[in-house]
Amino acid sequence: MIALGCDHAGYPLKEAIKQYLDSIGEQYTDFGTYSEESVDYPIFAAKTAHAVADGECEKGILCCGTGIGISIAANKVKGIRAAVCSDAFSAEMTRKHNDANILCMGARVISEEKALELVRIFLTTDALHEERHLRRVQMLKDMENGKM
């Protein structure tokens, strides 16, 4: 189950992502927003991030104008590693090296076509289980627990 969220700027892209996920038979929960009426991105980042952190959803995808505000907000939730990506290499590497669990994208930054490519890569790339990457992700968890 994929958690989806956006603000008004990201709304059209989130709808396109839903169509793409439908086409590949991937299930999702849509945490809003549900129109292009102006809203505050932290609200939708929080709903989406908590669904991932609580294990209700395996991964998340968030969209706002730049992808930045909504990623900053998502990363405030313990257990979340949200990465803003604009290119295929970053989408691949943030899964492999960071075990990112939320992909953030800027609807005013990249094309819909590019965004769907990044979604495909993000959903199909596994984290590498190499010691150095596991160690670094563990350090991120230690930071959340006040150990660093």
Q: Which residues bind ligand RB5 (CB under 6 A)?
A: 7, 9, 41, 64-66, 68-69
Partners of 64 in the beta sheet?
A: 106
Among 71, 55, 57, smallest CA distance to 3 is for 57
| Shorter beta-carbon distance to ligand RB5: residue 80 or 139 | 80
| Shorter beta-carbon distance to ligand RB5: residue 41 or 122 | 41
Active site (annotated) includes residue 133: no
Minimum distance between the CB of residue 127 and ligand RB5, rounded to whole angstroms?
26
Amino acid at 2: I
Nearest position to ligand RB5, beta carbon: 69
Peptide bond into 66 cis (omega under 30): no
Q: How far apart are CA 124 and CA 45, in angstroms?
A: 22
Q: At what angle do helices 88-96 and 112-124 cross, to 10 degrees?
A: 20
Active site (annotated) includes residue 57: no
| Shorter beta-carbon distance to ligand RB5: residue 51 or 107 | 107
Minimum distance between the CB of residue 63 and ligand RB5, rounded to whole angstroms?
8
Binning the chain into helix, strand and coil, the percentages to the nearest 5 are 45, 15, 40
SS3 58: coil
| Shorter beta-carbon distance to ligand RB5: residue 5 or 69 | 69
* Catalytic residue selected from 97, 104, 129, 133: 97
* Catalytic residue selected from 6, 57, 63, 64: 64
Residues recognised as catalytic: 64, 97
